[in-house]
Amino acid sequence: MTHILLIDGNNIGYASMYVPALSRLSHEGQPTGGIMGLAQSVMRIAALYPGAVPVVLWDGHAAWRKTLCPEYHQRRLLKWIFIE
Q: Which CA distances in Å does 80 have to 19, 77, 83? A: 32, 10, 10
pLDDT tens per residue, range 15-41: 988 888 888 888 999 988 999 999 999
The more confident residue out of 80 and 37 is 37
The more confident residue out of 72 and 50 is 50
Rounded Cα–Cα distance for residues 84 and 53 (Å): 59
pTM of the complete model? 0.65
Output the average pLDDT for the chain. Answer: 82
